Chain A
Amino acid sequence: MDQVTRERKRKEALDSMKKESLRNLILGVAGIAGFLVIWELVVRLQIISPKLIVSPVEVVKTLLIKMSDTKPEGSLLMQHIASSLQVAFCGYILAIGIGVPLGLMMGWFRGLDSFLGPILEVLRPVPPIAWIPFAIIFLGIGLEAKAVIIFLSAFIPCLINSYSGIKLTNQVYVNVAVTCGASNWRTFLKVGVPSAMPMVFAGMRISLGNAWSTLVAAEMLAANKGLGYMILMGRTYGRVDIIISGMIMIGILGIIFNAIFDKVEKYVLRWRIKR
């Protein structure tokens, strides 16, 4: 196969990938548009009572109003977003910082696994919301307590995936490293950790979703700002538009952070063989 043919085939493959991406994008946009149209019609035709749900147009109006109006819950949309980001990311970063190294070490060092495993197994099924009373007593009602609630929801997927990821390290690579004279710690760092990275990232992705979904619960603890607080206040004042606006903002921010996470993952794991 000459150079020209190879180049042509490469270009064809690239075009085909671009076409597929475009098709997927169009399908995605059509799906969202279709959903919004059905939602709008359901409200306009009063198939569902307007007391129970408002139309997407109303939600957009509310979001625009909330950019410059603090009513009724007392803060602007951007203040809510900033507050929630602070809470969610403090908890999330803490979960990664503790969950990933701990999971990797528990997966590699049996003694640590035997020591911490039973405690974590007991704590694992406890829902983050159940910790709220203790969070208040030991950490108060500030950022620390809310971040810990988020941490508890994001920590477990980080830990378990890191643990499972390193457990799946190919024994052949380990043997090669040991034969070449690498110490256990060096083998852990140079073979185990890189081999576990795809699973670690999968866990971090699950954790990101968990962190966002626990936001409302964390802000139930105590708040005067935040998207979860905005939803709670919408409920208190019977404002369905505010509830849905808060939900949509959590969803949109979730999509944005997922996309950012995708880019980071692709960069960090660029060595990975694509299938």
Chain B
Amino acid sequence: MKKKGAAFLVAAMVLSLTMGNCVFAEEGLKEVTISLQPAPHSLGAYVALEKGWFEEEGLDVDVLTYIAGAPQLEAVASDAWTVGVMGVAAGITGLMSYDLTCLGFSQWDYFNQNLYARSDSEIVAAGSGNVEGYPDIYGTADLYRGKTILCTKGSMGHLELLASLAALGLTEDDVDIVHMEVAAAYQAFLAGEGDMVCLWSTFASDGEAEGLVAVAGAEAAKLYVPSVILASDKALEDEETTQKILNVMIRGFMWVMDHPDEAAEYYYDICEEEGVTCTEEYASELIHKAYGPSVAEYREMYENDEFTENLANVMKYYIAAGTYVEDDVEKVTSGFDGSMLIKALDYYEENYAELDG
């Protein structure tokens, strides 16, 4: 009897431990996995998740969060996710090397993507307004030539550096770029390494608080890049489900723009949860600055082929840097398919524009 009792107890314990770790799909809901980054461009999707909008569309969504584009893309190669949001730098790699399809853009992604110098640098001393057509860039081309720049290659920071150099009439060969992860680059720069550093996110605002000066950057170089929504082949095979995911994402993106204060709170919570350095003030500042196209702007961009133009514009910098060649532009632009985005916009206007707005 004792033996039976013990066996029952062990079985109950094993069962409870196993069941505790199991996640069951809610009845009748379609299970899907999407991938996001703890960044403003993914915030709409996080909000949708919190508010239960995916469930409303009949989806049981599992979210994979990645801190950078490289591991996010490696995961899609093994079908870990079907639809994902990321910066355009990783997006280009997704289109080039992983045969993903770009369904559309989420938010503009050029805020706080800057090239910083120390306040006692000769570039800062030279002041801004010396580069024709780019009044916000500090210094002159000669002052940048030969400088050591700490930068995460293949990231948005790298892209803004390429654009800044192009604005100055320079290329990567004119400077010495040292590849470092952003956190390490920031730490090394504060320790006295390098002449300039590419920073974004909280590192940019922390850097400014430390007295670093943004001498160039995406906005200063007029690089108005978006973040992208990418889908795998598997996602395109199940068009109905992917359309639903996109419908919800668009609803989320629009809600973020309409409710920036509340969205900033969500953003701060996500950063806390994912271990991203953030403060409530920074979250508020960033979300108020970061915005995406409105429904009308999305439609206009689609009609004027601005989506593909934008991707081709980004490729221009990579080609100049020798990362890609001219022929690759076609592969990237042909990877854009905005038809589902237009349906998602129609769906939003019909069902949610008034309700959420």
Interface residue ranges, A against B (CB under 8 Å): 49, 51-52, 70-74, 132-133, 136-137, 140-141, 220-224, 229, 232-233, 235-240
Contacts and interface: CB of A to CB of B under 8 A. Distances in A.
Nearest to A132: B184
Given A74-B322, A141-B193, A235 B188 contact: no
30 contacts: A49-B77, A52-B77, A52-B78, A71-B322, A71-B324, A72-B324, A73-B323, A74-B172, A132-B184, A133-B187, A136-B184, A137-B187, A137-B191, A141-B150, A141-B178, A141-B188, A141-B193, A141-B194, A222-B178, A222-B180, A222-B185, A223-B178, A236-B70, A236-B93, A236-B155, A237-B97, A237-B154, A238-B70, A238-B73, A239-B97
B98 interface: yes
B98 A238 contact: yes
Contacts of A223: 178-179
Interface string B153-177: 1110000000000000000100011
Interface string B51-63: 0000000000000
A74 B323 CA distance: 7
Contacts of B70: 235-236, 238
Given A71-B325, A224-B176, 10 more contacts: A52-B78, A71-B322, A132-B184, A136-B193, A137-B187, A140-B192, A222-B150, A224-B177, A236-B154, A238-B97
B35 to A, nearest CB: 15
B144 to A, nearest CB: 17
A77 to B, nearest CB: 15
Nearest to B74: A235
Interface in B307-331: 321-325
Given A71-B325, A222-B184, A233 B178 contact: no
B229 to A, nearest CB: 18
A72 B193 CA distance: 26
Interface in B167-224: 172, 176-181, 184-185, 187-188, 191-194
Nearest to B154: A236
Q: Kindly list the 4 A-B residue pairs having the minimum CB-CB distance in the complex, ordered from nearest.
A: A238-B97, A236-B154, A51-B77, A72-B323
Nearest to A136: B188
A246 B3 CA distance: 59
Contacts of A232: 179
A235 to B, nearest CB: 5
Contacts of A141: 150, 178, 180, 188, 193-194
Given A71-B322, A223-B179, A233-B153, A140 B96 contact: no
B94 interface: yes
Contacts of A237: 93, 96-97, 154, 323
Nearest to A49: B77
Contacts of A235: 70, 74
A232 B325 CA distance: 21
A136 B70 CA distance: 24
B193 A140 contact: yes
Q: Which of B93, B96, B179, B193 has the most CB of A within 10 A?
A: B179
B184 A221 contact: yes
Contacts of B69: 236
B99 interface: yes
Contacts of A73: 153, 323
A51 B194 contact: no
B80 to A, nearest CB: 12
Interface in B249-305: none
Contacts of B78: 49, 52
A91 B43 CA distance: 45
Given A51-B77, A235-B70, A221 B180 contact: yes
A222 B176 CA distance: 12
Nearest to B194: A141
Contacts of B180: 141, 221-222
A255 B311 CA distance: 44
Contacts of B74: 235, 238
Contact of A224 (B154, B179, B325): B179
Q: Which of A51, A221, A233 has the most CB of B within 10 A?
A: A51
A240 B77 CA distance: 11
A133 B191 CA distance: 11
A134 to B, nearest CB: 11
B188 A222 contact: yes
Contacts of B187: 133, 136-137
B153 A140 contact: no
Nearest to A238: B97
B323 A71 contact: yes
Contacts of A74: 172, 321-322
A49 B185 CA distance: 35
